[in-house]
Amino acid sequence: MAHDRFQGHDYYQVDELLTEEHLLIRNSVREWVKKEVSPIIEDYAQRAEFPKQILKGLADIGAFGPYIPTEYGGGGLDQISYGLIMQEVERGDSGIRSTASVQSSLVMYPIFTYGSEEQRKKYLPSLAKGEMIGCFGLTEPDHGSNPSGMITNFKDAGDHVILNGAKMWISNAPFAHLAVVWAKDENGDIRGLIVERGMEGFTTPETHGKWSLRASATGELVFDNVKVPKSNIFPEVKGLKGPLGCLNSARYGIAWGAIGAAMDCYDTALRYSQERIQFGRPIGGFQLQQKKLAEMITEITKAQLLTWRLGVLKNENRATPAQISMAKRNNVNMAITIAREARQMLGGMGITGEYPIMRHMMNLESVITYEGTHDIHLLITGMDVTGLNAFT
Amino acid sequence: MKILVCISNVPDTTTKINFTEDQKSFVTAGVQYIINPYDEIALTKALELTEKQGGTVTVINVGDVTTEPTIRKALAIGATDAIRVNGTPRDAYYVAKQVAHVAKDQNYDLILTGRESIDYNGSQVAAMVAEMLDLPSVSIVKSLTIENGIATLEREIEGGKEILNCPTPLIVSATEGMAEPRIPNMRGIMSARTKPLVVVEPLPVPQLQEYVKYDKPAARSHVKLVPSDDVKKLVDLLHTEAKSF
């Protein structure tokens, strides 16, 4: 990819709603992405490889568990800081942000929230440092939007349980050291377990041939009579609310992340429109291009305000799952629409790796699907406002 | 080792520069401020020296409260503590006087600055502070090591380089190559919360420089392409259109 000339966009002076520390965090991560992610990401995405060398850097900038208390190695930061970190990392690439989201919200969050003190102390500090990478197993081949139908299960066998089943579409799976797995116990209750690489019968085959999140490693989790010590089961949670709590945290981060991808596409298209000359003048001077740009910055600005407000609510522990659904759905859709429009503005150049747009656009096809699809989030809002369940 | 690093708060390098209608001042609305990049090199060098040999790094800035995010970033990068002289810098003399006043009784082994600030590009503060404190000063230094109280400094000069030895204490202005600036990490940002940032009131110092007017440089004219085989046309153009050169 050409030199990263990204500049942030803040049409409504939303920065004034942030603290000095928020801005320092945001700008530091932005600088880090320019230095460590932008120069290499296109190459890794083209080769469909995760750049493992950036894991330590991701940990150093606070992308792993920024809101986990410092006593467990986390950043002890607020939710807006978490959001801003996700925004900037996704500005670089949604795949890299996915790794950070999974580590923070789907692995560290449940260990901190549902885990025993021993589990917290054992795993969280290494996860925060990026020495240990985790993944999250909820989705199954036959159970995506309907996770409660999961088949993966475990049976009591004295001091341990025997786990069987398979999970699919798992970010970080091919290289993760541990997996937070959701499975049914003998009573049919959904429980969370920590499964470690090396446990006999546990394998993580990689998913190949993706056109999206190519710089992120995706795989399956296969459990064939895996002996998991009972001490690896989360003591504090039972039922679907366990994994849904994690997803709330991750979806919140995605709502911010999508703004990063959208800003990168808008920023690229805006600059291109000012430099690309056709019919004797910059294409940014033509009405059809201006319509695209004006709508992009309008949508980005709305998304920035939406997420900022959601961040305030989350800091006060008042954000509802339905509010988070609305932000995830709106912002990812906003970002993918902007990516498609921006791609057109760049003409043929838009399909090349010289510019980040096509990569963002393809990445966002996953983002609009994972962590609750675009349609499912709509039904969550629908149910929230009508009180009527349209899922089943 | 006790080091003082002077930090300027300057507009980000990508800022679009505009002036007020009366051309008397720079329009600051919407401008992001950063640590002067040369000062960031100086700060990083100071950290490298103290990490190796022990000691403290104090950063000093002359400016109003709006410069505190820049100072806090310097603390997040790793400075031990910070001093803000609560004045409005109008010229290099004002800044140098304030820095010299703060530094005079503090026995710093080394005072580092950037070679120049990227806004006004004065390159004057380091030498002025040195004069005021009666210390040796070396400008635009590319490499710096200190052993047993002797600084070894490397400067680029016409056609080669110059290597100097100078006893501490001294004042050095840094340029590219002295150190690779660091991005603040999460631990740094968290620890910056509690590091001391002391605010001191400025000395009354007369303003020696007056800014009469700001102007933007003339817009660049279009490039004229001359076919490679048409030397005569090129010569004609050089005589007629480019004659001012």
pLDDT tens digits, one per residue of A66-90 = 999 999 999 999 999 999 999 999 9
- For residues A66 and A52, membership in a common domain is answered with yes
Answer whether B183 sits within 8 Å of A35, measured CB to CB: yes
**What phi and psi, each to the nearest 5 degrees, are found at residue A148?**
-65, -15
- For residues A53 and A86, membership in a common domain is answered with yes
- For residues A147 and A78, membership in a common domain is answered with no
- For residues A273 and A317, membership in a common domain is answered with yes
Number of domains in chain A: 3
CA distance A194 to A178: 7
pLDDT above 90 as % of chain A:
98
Amino acid A111: pLDDT:
98
- For residues A246 and A324, membership in a common domain is answered with yes
CA distance B115 to B122: 9
Give which of B95, B152, B87 is closest to B129, Cα–Cα: B95
Q: Is residue A4 part of a domain?
A: no
Amino acid A86: pLDDT:
98
- For residues A146 and A203, membership in a common domain is answered with yes
Residues of chain B with pLDDT under 70: 243-245
Answer whether A24 sits within 8 Å of B189, measured CB to CB: yes
CB burial of A198-232 (b: ≥16 within 10 Å; e: otherwise) equals ebeebebeebeebebbbbbbbbbbbbeebebeeeb
Amino acid B237: pLDDT:
87
- For residues A246 and A222, membership in a common domain is answered with no
Q: Is residue A7 part of a domain?
A: no
Q: What is the pLDDT of residues A307-331, one digit of tens each?
A: 999 999 999 999 999 999 999 999 9
Of A20, A61, A76, the CB nearest to B185: A61
Environment class of residue B180 by beta-carbon count within 10 Å: exposed (0-12), middle (13-18) or buried (19+)? exposed
Q: Which residues of B touch A35 (CB under 8 A)?
A: 183
Range of the domain at A347: 241-386
- For residues A250 and A381, membership in a common domain is answered with yes
Tell me, yes or no, if A71 is annotated catalytic: no
User: Complex ipTM above 0.85?
Assistant: yes
Is B240's Cβ below 8 Å from some Cβ in A? no
Amino acid B243: pLDDT:
63
Amino acid B131: pLDDT:
97
Last residue of a domain, one of A210, A232, A254: A232
**What phi and psi, each to the nearest 5 degrees, are found at residue B157?**
-125, 170
Is B14's Cβ below 8 Å from some Cβ in A? yes
pLDDT over 70 (residue A198): yes
Last residue of a domain, one of A232, A261, A292: A232
The residue in chain A having the minimum alpha-carbon distance to the alpha carbon of residue B15 is: A7
Q: Which residues of B touch A76 (CB under 8 A)?
A: 190
Go through chain B and tell me how many residues it has. Answer: 245
Catalytic residue among A88, A140, A341, A371: A371
Q: Which residues of A touch B69 (CB under 8 A)?
A: 20, 23-24
Amino acid B17: pLDDT:
86
pLDDT over 70 (residue A34): yes
Task: Find the mean pLDDT for residues A357-380.
Answer: 97
Of B68, B184, B193, the CB nearest to A28: B184
CATH class of B2-214: alpha beta
Answer whether A21 sits within 8 Å of B14, measured CB to CB: no
Answer whether B183 sits within 8 Å of A28, measured CB to CB: yes
Q: What is the pLDDT of residues A280-290, one digit of tens each?
A: 999 999 999 99
Last residue of a domain, one of A128, A151, A169: A128
- For residues A309 and A336, membership in a common domain is answered with yes
Radius of gyration, alpha carbons of chain A: 21
Provide the CATH number for the domain around residue A32.
1.10.540.10
CB A219 within 8 A of CB A206: yes
Q: Which residues of A touch B183 (CB under 8 A)?
A: 28, 31-32, 35, 61
Q: Is residue A8 part of a domain?
A: no
Amino acid A236: pLDDT:
83
Provide the CATH number for the domain around residue A291.
1.20.140.10
- For residues A117 and A138, membership in a common domain is answered with no
Q: Is residue A6 part of a domain?
A: no
Provide the CATH number for the domain around residue A209.
2.40.110.10
Amino acid A237: pLDDT:
93
- For residues A186 and A318, membership in a common domain is answered with no
What are the residues facing B152 on neighbouring strands? Answer: B145, B165
Give the confidence band of A2 by pLDDT, cuts at 50, 70, 90: low
Amino acid B148: pLDDT:
94
What is the domain partition of chain B in residue ranges? 2-214
Amino acid B28: pLDDT:
85
Answer whether A24 sits within 8 Å of B76, measured CB to CB: yes
Q: Which residues of B touch A60 (CB under 8 A)?
A: 185-187
The residue in chain A having the minimum alpha-carbon distance to the alpha carbon of residue B190 is: A75
- For residues A301 and A381, membership in a common domain is answered with yes
- The shortest C-alpha distance from A344 to chain B (Å) reads 27
How does the average pLDDT of chain A come out, rounded?
Answer: 97
Task: Find the mean pLDDT for residues A338-350.
Answer: 97
Answer whether B186 sits within 8 Å of A62, measured CB to CB: yes
Of B30, B76, B190, the CB nearest to A75: B190
pLDDT over 70 (residue A1): no
